[in-house]
Amino acid sequence: MKETNNLFPVFLKLEDLRVLLIGAGNVGVEKLNAIVNNAPATQVLVIAKEINDEFHELAALHPNVHIRQTEYNAEYLNDCDIVIAAVNDIALSTTIRNDAKVRGKLINVADKPYLCDFYLGSIVTKGNLKLAISTNGKSPTMSKRLREVFNELLPDELDDIINNLQVVRNSLQGDFKNKVDELNKITQKLVEKPLSEAEKYEQYWFL
Ligand SMILES: C[C@@]1(CC(=O)O)c2cc3[nH]c(cc4nc(cc5[nH]c(cc(n2)[C@H]1CCC(=O)O)[C@@](C)(CC(=O)O)[C@@H]5CCC(=O)O)C(CC(=O)O)=C4CCC(=O)O)c(CCC(=O)O)c3CC(=O)O
Ligand SMILES: NC(=O)C1=CN([C@@H]2O[C@H](COP(=O)(O)OP(=O)(O)OC[C@H]3O[C@@H](n4cnc5c(N)ncnc54)[C@H](O)[C@@H]3O)[C@@H](O)[C@H]2O)C=CC1
């Protein structure tokens, strides 16, 4: 039987939450990059015994990222909403996971899917548009490749279309059903065949 992906996708307002990142090595850099590329104003507290140079450089660009060079202690979990562990010690990762669960915090543990409450995805961004890709943990490399494919495929102008559609959306009168009908009508071309991709988007450049 075909497997299904039962992960539930959400888009978090991370900038309104507090993240605790434990570990500031290579994987720590990747996780911090994922945070600041998507939600640069997020409050991040970093706990690590050692901080690598790349991590220092990235953190220095983001005043909301605070580093404490110290040993992990469960107390740090009390003042955060979400936890990301990126330490090079499986026993410590398991301890952090358990400490987080006792406190009701959601946690991602780098390299240990079975200790994670959530996974990070590969992200395609075109202004307001954001696609998140998951392979159910099967192949992060495939996620990365698909990100590259969609990044090429989707035109940058999509953001202009979305902004124009918002103007139309805000100007529409009538009840909910009329609005939905009208918005469906003016976006119909996007799903019509056999228009080429270019033709589909062309319809919306100047909406
Ligand atoms: C389950 C998950 C949990 C999580 O980390 O959140 C997870 C787990 C693991 N990753 C591993 C390895 C690699 N991870 C990457 C890259 C990314 N990994 C990301 C997410 C996820 N990785 C979650 C599932 C996502 C999904 O469902 O697809 C991305 C999408 C997002 C991000 O991390 O920000 C980011 C791409 C960002 C981008 O470029 O778009 C590469 C490729 C590279 O770096 O080039 C490699 C090496 C090649 C390979 O193994 O494929 C290993 C084995 C470690 C080992 O072998 O020692 C494990 C552990 C395991 O599988 O057991
Ligand atoms: N480097 C990579 O690209 C990959 C790494 N991994 C795995 O991911 C994990 C992390 O890897 P890296 O980031 O490369 O390791 P790293 O050695 O570069 O960084 C580990 C970080 O954890 C911190 N740390 C360890 N014990 C601590 C403690 N008690 N209190 C506070 N901080 C503590 C260290 O100070 C350091 O900042 C490892 O398990 C590794 O095997 C998996 C795939 C790829």
Residues 45 and 18 sit within 8 Å (Cβ to Cβ): yes
* Candidate of 20, 21, 22, 27 to mutate for ligand 2, largest count of ligand atoms within 8 Å of Cβ: 27
pLDDT digits (tens, 9 = 90+) for 102-149: 999 999 999 999 999 999 999 999 999 999 999 999 999 999 999 999
Q: Quote the CA–CA distance of 20 and 22 in Å, as a whole number.
A: 6
Each residue's pLDDT tens digit, 74-114: 999 999 999 999 999 999 999 999 999 999 999 999 999 99
Domain boundaries of the chain, sorted by first residue: 14-120, 121-154, 158-202
Taking 80 as the threshold, does the pLDDT of residue 42 lie above it? yes
Gap between the Cα atoms of 161 and 207, Å rounded: 7
If you measure from the C-alpha of residue 161 to the centroid of ligand 2, how many angstroms do you get, rounded to a whole number? 42
Residues 15-26 have pLDDT tens digits of 999 999 999 999
Give me the CATH topology for the region 121-154.
Double Stranded RNA Binding Domain (3.30.160)
Give me the torsion for CA of 199, 133, 59, 77, rounded to 10°.
Answer: 150
Secondary element (H or E) of residue 79: none
Query: Which candidate, 78, 52, 48, 53, places its Cα nearest to that of 66?
Result: 48
Coil, strand, or helix at residue 91?
A: helix
Q: 110: CA distance to ligand 2 center in Å?
A: 9
Q: Which residue has the tokens 């990747």?
A: 30
pLDDT band at 174; cut points 50, 70, 90 = confident
Length of the chain, please? 207
Nearest atom in ligand 2 to 55's CA: 37
Q: What's the pLDDT at 14?
A: 98
Closest CA to ligand 2's atom 32? 48
Residues with CB under 6 A from ligand 2: 22-28, 47-50, 71-72, 86-89, 92, 110-111
State both tokens at 173: 């009168």
Pocket test for ligand 1, best of 89, 90, 119, 150 (most atoms within 8 A of CB): 119
- Cα distance between the two ends of the chain: 45
What is the model's pLDDT at position 206? 46
Q: Regarding beta strands 129-133 and 122-126, do their DSSP bridges make them parallel or antiparallel, or are they unpaired?
A: antiparallel
What distances in angstroms separate CA 127 from CA 154, 160, 163, 167, one per listed residue?
12, 9, 10, 16
* Dihedral over alpha carbons 85, 91, 97, 98 (to 10 degrees): -160
State in words which class domain 14-120 has: alpha beta
Considering the entire predicted model, what is its pTM? 0.92
Cis ω before 155 (30° cut-off from 0): no
